Chains A and B, each alone.
Chain A
């Protein structure tokens, strides 16, 4: 399926992914254009997470191809242009909230100062500037997830792939976080793909796709 008529950020064609004997993705096609916001919904185990991992380039499909025409062709630099939010907060337990946010920037070559400024801005966006020096274990599950989202925001990615990003958040925080992610991709001219069970949340996004038995079909809204 295709989201909009703008230049594509990521194009997936004929994806097949199998875990053992279980077919997770079967002949799945997806093109996400710049500026697109896409909600991917489906039952548990329907392949949402797998699709996001494939789109992120972390999981090679058994068959089919993924291209990122809107991103840097060099894989290492391209990874910096893709922001991933996992279901679980997925923070490094030894680093503070600020360090967790700054880590991808530092790995990409940002100076300590530049990474620090971006980190403070991102933590401010998710309302956790005061918790910058706290270790993940000192934060609640929701706060940890907001730190993980701040980590994505700080990197100003052109493609944001979020897997149930608001599962651990209250409604207000969930909407605020989603707004922040939308603002981020709007600012970079990129695209946002959110895998979610939450119909209300999915409804806030411009596009929607449903994944069922490994096949993707278009949702109700564009």
Chain B
């Protein structure tokens, strides 16, 4: 027997079987290749995004023994350098302002000289708020402290004595003040230093006159061309470190490098590792499931394959000849699968991943090899077994083999219990370690991943699948279970529910196997959907916390707008509620902290408030405490700890009060602890009653109006149009794209992977349910023909099938819900690092899950109708086989 005529016959006589096998291989190939596209795209994106977040790549500080000109020249020669921006700064004793309400004096202030082109070259460092973009500019907070603005006069106390009056041209913000004023050359892990409260930006020609006698810090802010950096963040960080070392060697101690870009890339290594974990946790189960689908498709042809092999042997074919034929068939289906799979992967990448993503060559080759191997494993393997089996019993028909009803060997050995116990143990250990799965020490090039933590889901997947198999077998073996599935109570003329139940009981092992397979498929789609929904909710919450509400309108420094200003905002389209939020600064001991004055009874109308914000209490209780204690404050846990405070303690804070805005002691009572609050920074801050703050400070000025809106984008657009100069309007939709998770893993990345997973998960779930049912029907084909010969109507035959389908679907759906929830829980816990804030529970995406269940039910119904009709068809050959 030659292979080619065999293949030609196969193509001619059974094109759909061939196509079915090829499509199953194609699914796996497409999944792997598309996953590779995600990996390639996200890795490249990590470096680009990490670099984009850095305002200036290097801050090179000239040491006392260094020469600025030499340093600048050396920098200009450093490979990849795009711009070198000179910056000078010095500390002056004080700034002062005078107005009709009195004079104000700050403490020490930084005078900073920036070249005219600085803001254009490094736009993230300077944000112009009011007035001119050049000349004498006050930092936003300094302007507030001095109650000064464009046109005001401030007096600089000169370091060498004397004063110099300057006319303020504008107000600007230094959004990256933490890094701008960092101590260059501080050892890793030294901790950040607080940025100065008072900053004056001056043109270079005026700098010397203002700072004479002071120590001048000379820096060069360096920008690199990011496009040329390696895609892998770790490689890019290493390259930057090498360049920094080389530069420092060249200037021979003449300068220190603050490698902001290297630090950001180093931190992005964590993102890269989390991306790898995501691929392992979400991708590998999908891959395994794709292989299961391929095996199911091949199993549909299993009986025919056994008979073909037996017939070939009966006709004298040698095992080698038979294997050659099957190998040729395997190559044909595998090759066809690859040919179909690769365009499918391109389509999946185009649909699911961000624009510009494409297939990666290595992964595509890997997908091709995996597809061919999968074809070999699922087709060649069973054929080899049939070929090597002695005798030709595969030809015979007679009474069909009875499926074994006892527990299969993995369940007899208790493998499900062993695997689940292992998963629980590993998970408990991971939990004890605070879910620290990825550890990227600052300043250390080696990052570590606790890959052992992945054992929990890796063991849980098969453990849960086996458990579902066991439970299904046990339930279907019980009288009550059998009758529940066959709906015996609805007995009527022409119905034989006890027969349907008996068939289900006899076939419980194979039905339960199908149910477990379907449960795994649904579990994959459900766990991915739940994980993604949970991530999405937390990302939305993250943005909501940053913005403060659906829309936030922030007043410019120095503006005095009372709570009544909210009335004007309430008229904007889509606005449902407006809530004023005061923002002040208050000293707790020597610490200057942000203080937010709220209306505790109504703040919940607009702002996202969670119990996790107030450790050890509920947000309702905490707000109630504030309502009932007018001078109550919620303090950060760190403040409570550092100052040995307890709820009920009296505490005195210093706030700016009265027309002169002088810092005055004000008494408060501690009513609780707060960890997070909308618009508040991540470090220490204070929450107090707005009415009390207005009373003790003599000002009810609102910092931000928080707005709940049914259409945030529209509301924000309308408010931007009518906003006074300097007023900033943020909305939750526009800001979302800019906010990344705690690990920096952008939501766009995760959504790409989850789109791939959800798409393939749905297809695989449909394939699994359809194939499991089709396989069952195919196995029962002879029984269906016999039923027809015995006079059973097509409806009666259908009842036997639907009883089995109900059992399979019920087990699969319940099992899928269990697996999906359990695995999603493990994923969320193990990948806690990518969530910000950490979720308190799982978010169930009801819409996707409903669509998933309905699709599976629809596909199952279609298979029952089509295959049931085909299988029950009693043609001459089927009847003669009886």
Which residues of chain A have a CB within 8 Å of any CB of chain B? 17, 19, 49-50, 53, 56, 58-59, 76, 79-80, 82, 84, 86-96, 99, 102-104, 106-109, 112, 135-137, 141, 144, 151
A53 to B493, CA, bound (A): 27
Instruction: Name the residue of chain A whose CB is nearest to the CB of B504.
Output: A94
Given contacts A76-B793, A89-B399, contact A58 B879 (CB under 8 A): yes
Q: Which residues from chain B contact A53 at a C-beta distance below 8 Å?
A: 876, 879-880
Contacting residues of chain B (491-529) with chain A, CB-CB under 8 angstroms:
493-496, 498-499, 502-503, 505-507
Asked whether B398 lies within 8 Å of A59 as measured between CB atoms, the reply is no
Asked whether A106 lies within 8 Å of B399 as measured between CB atoms, the reply is no
Asked whether A95 lies within 8 Å of B791 as measured between CB atoms, the reply is no
- 14 A-B pairs (CB sep. < 8 Å): A17-B876, A50-B876, A84-B789, A88-B397, A92-B787, A95-B499, A103-B790, A106-B499, A107-B494, A107-B792, A107-B796, A109-B494, A137-B402, A151-B790
Please provide the 6 A-B residue pairs with the shortest distance between their CB atoms, ordered closest to farther: A94-B506, A79-B791, A106-B496, A109-B493, A94-B503, A93-B402
How far apart are A106's CB and chain B's nearest CB, in angstroms? Answer: 4
Asked whether B879 lies within 8 Å of A59 as measured between CB atoms, the reply is yes
Asked whether A107 lies within 8 Å of B503 as measured between CB atoms, the reply is no
Instruction: Name the residue of chain A whose CB is nearest to the CB of B875.
Output: A59
Instruction: Name the residue of chain A whose CB is nearest to the CB of B877.
Output: A19
How far apart are B786's CB and chain A's nearest CB, in angstroms? Answer: 5
A151 to B876, CA, bound (A): 22
Asked whether A93 lies within 8 Å of B499 as measured between CB atoms, the reply is no
Instruction: Name the residue of chain B whose CB is nearest to the CB of A18.
Output: B876
Asked whether B402 lies within 8 Å of A94 as measured between CB atoms, the reply is yes
Given contacts A88-B882, A93-B400, contact A19 B786 (CB under 8 A): no
Asked whether A92 lies within 8 Å of B496 as measured between CB atoms, the reply is no
Q: Please tell me if B874 contacts chain A, counting CB pairs below 8 Å.
A: yes
Asked whether A94 lies within 8 Å of B790 as measured between CB atoms, the reply is no
Asked whether B876 lies within 8 Å of A19 as measured between CB atoms, the reply is yes
Asked whether A108 lies within 8 Å of B399 as measured between CB atoms, the reply is no
Partner of A95, one of B401, B494, B503, B793: B503
Q: Once A and B bind, how many residue pairs between them come within 8 Å at the CB atom?
A: 94
Q: Which residues from chain A contact B397 at a C-beta distance below 8 Å?
A: 88
A109 to B790, CA, bound (A): 13
A174 to B380, CA, bound (A): 46
Asked whether A99 lies within 8 Å of B502 as measured between CB atoms, the reply is yes
A53 to B880, CA, bound (A): 9
Given contacts A88-B397, A108-B494, A137-B402, contact A103 B876 (CB under 8 A): no
Q: Please tell me if B783 contacts chain A, counting CB pairs below 8 Å.
A: yes
Asked whether A80 lies within 8 Å of B791 as measured between CB atoms, the reply is yes
Partner of B496, one of A86, A96, A107: A107
Partner of B791, one of A96, A99, A107: A107
Contacting residues of chain B (849-882) with chain A, CB-CB under 8 angstroms:
874, 876, 879-880, 882
A106 to B796, CA, bound (A): 11
A87 to B881, CA, bound (A): 9
Asked whether A59 lies within 8 Å of B876 as measured between CB atoms, the reply is yes
Given contacts A58-B874, A95-B503, contact A144 B399 (CB under 8 A): yes
B residues contacting the other copy or chain, number (CB 8 A): 33
Asked whether B398 lies within 8 Å of A89 as measured between CB atoms, the reply is yes
How far apart are B257's CB and chain A's nearest CB, in angstroms? Answer: 78
A104 to B451, CA, bound (A): 60
Instruction: Name the residue of chain B whose CB is nearest to the CB of A139.
Output: B399
Q: Which residues from chain A contact B793 at a C-beta distance below 8 Å?
A: 76, 107
Asked whether A112 lies within 8 Å of B498 as measured between CB atoms, the reply is yes
Given contacts A104-B791, A107-B791, contact A96 B502 (CB under 8 A): yes
A82 to B880, CA, bound (A): 17
Given contacts A94-B506, A109-B494, contact A104 B790 (CB under 8 A): yes
Which residues of chain B have a CB within 8 Å of any CB of chain A? 397-403, 493-496, 498-499, 502-503, 505-507, 783, 786-793, 796, 874, 876, 879-880, 882
Q: Which residues from chain A contact B494 at a C-beta distance below 8 Å?
A: 107-109
Candidate in B788, B796, B882 with the most chain A CB atoms within 10 angstroms:
B882
Asked whether B493 lies within 8 Å of A92 as measured between CB atoms, the reply is no
Q: Which residues from chain A contact B502 at a C-beta distance below 8 Å?
A: 94-96, 99
Q: Which residues from chain A contact B783 at a C-beta distance below 8 Å?
A: 92-94
Candidate in B401, B499, B787, B791 with the most chain A CB atoms within 10 angstroms:
B791
Partner of B790, one of A87, A88, A107: A107
A73 to B801, CA, bound (A): 29
Asked whether A90 lies within 8 Å of B791 as measured between CB atoms, the reply is no
How far apart are B501's CB and chain A's nearest CB, in angstroms? Answer: 10
A174 to B796, CA, bound (A): 33
A62 to B796, CA, bound (A): 28
Q: Which residues from chain A contact B786 at a C-beta distance below 8 Å?
A: 90, 92
Instruction: Name the residue of chain A whose CB is nearest to the CB of B505.
Output: A94
- 7 further interface pairs, Cβ-Cβ under 8 Å (given A104-B791, A151-B790): A17-B876, A76-B793, A92-B786, A95-B502, A99-B499, A106-B499, A108-B494
Given contacts A79-B791, A84-B789, A95-B503, contact A137 B496 (CB under 8 A): no
A50 to B880, CA, bound (A): 8
Given contacts A59-B879, A103-B496, A109-B493, contact A136 B399 (CB under 8 A): yes
Q: Which residues from chain A contact B403 at a C-beta distance below 8 Å?
A: 94
Q: Which residues from chain A contact B400 at a C-beta distance below 8 Å?
A: 93
Given contacts A49-B880, A58-B874, A104-B790, contact A137 B399 (CB under 8 A): yes
Asked whether A93 lies within 8 Å of B498 as measured between CB atoms, the reply is no
A106 to B792, CA, bound (A): 10
Partner of B402, one of A49, A84, A135, A144: A135
Q: Which residues from chain B contact A144 at a C-beta distance below 8 Å?
A: 399
How far apart are B807's CB and chain A's nearest CB, in angstroms? Answer: 13
Instruction: Name the residue of chain B whose CB is nearest to the CB of A77.
Output: B791
A137 to B403, CA, bound (A): 10
A141 to B396, CA, bound (A): 13
Given contacts A53-B876, A90-B786, contact A103 B499 (CB under 8 A): yes
Partner of B503, one of A79, A92, A137: A92
How far apart are A78's CB and chain B's nearest CB, in angstroms? Answer: 9
Asked whether B398 lies within 8 Å of A88 as measured between CB atoms, the reply is yes
Candidate in A79, A88, A94, A106 with the most chain B CB atoms within 10 angstroms:
A94
Asked whether B790 lies within 8 Å of A58 as measured between CB atoms, the reply is no
Q: Which residues from chain B contact A104 at a C-beta distance below 8 Å?
A: 790-791
Q: Which residues from chain B contact A87 at a C-beta distance below 8 Å?
A: 882
Instruction: Name the residue of chain B whose CB is nearest to the CB of A78.
Output: B791
A213 to B194, CA, bound (A): 106
How far apart are A157's CB and chain B's nearest CB, in angstroms? Answer: 10
A80 to B791, CA, bound (A): 6
Partner of B789, one of A58, A102, A137: A58
Instruction: Name the residue of chain B whose CB is nearest to the CB of A151.
Output: B790
A129 to B879, CA, bound (A): 29
Candidate in A53, A59, A104, A107 with the most chain B CB atoms within 10 angstroms:
A107
Given contacts A58-B874, A80-B791, A109-B493, contact A91 B879 (CB under 8 A): no
Q: Which residues from chain B contact A17 at a C-beta distance below 8 Å?
A: 876
Asked whether B498 lies within 8 Å of A76 as measured between CB atoms, the reply is no
Asked whether B880 lies within 8 Å of A76 as measured between CB atoms, the reply is no
Q: Which residues from chain A contact B496 at a C-beta distance below 8 Å?
A: 103, 106-107
Q: Which residues from chain B contact A84 at a C-beta distance below 8 Å?
A: 789-790
A95 to B400, CA, bound (A): 12
A120 to B421, CA, bound (A): 51
Q: Which residues from chain B contact A82 at a C-beta distance below 8 Å?
A: 791
Given contacts A109-B493, A144-B399, contact A86 B791 (CB under 8 A): no
A79 to B507, CA, bound (A): 28
Q: Which residues from chain B contact A94 at a C-beta distance below 8 Å?
A: 402-403, 502-503, 505-507, 783
Q: Which residues from chain B contact A107 at a C-beta distance below 8 Å?
A: 494, 496, 787, 790-793, 796
Asked whether A93 lies within 8 Å of B399 as measured between CB atoms, the reply is yes
Q: Which residues from chain A contact B506 at a C-beta distance below 8 Å?
A: 93-95, 135
Instruction: Name the residue of chain A whose CB is nearest to the CB of B874.
Output: A58
Given contacts A93-B400, A94-B402, A137-B402, contact A108 B876 (CB under 8 A): no
Instruction: Name the residue of chain A whose CB is nearest to the CB of B492.
Output: A109
How far apart are B783's CB and chain A's nearest CB, in angstroms? Answer: 5
Instruction: Name the residue of chain A whose CB is nearest to the CB of B396.
Output: A88
A76 to B494, CA, bound (A): 11
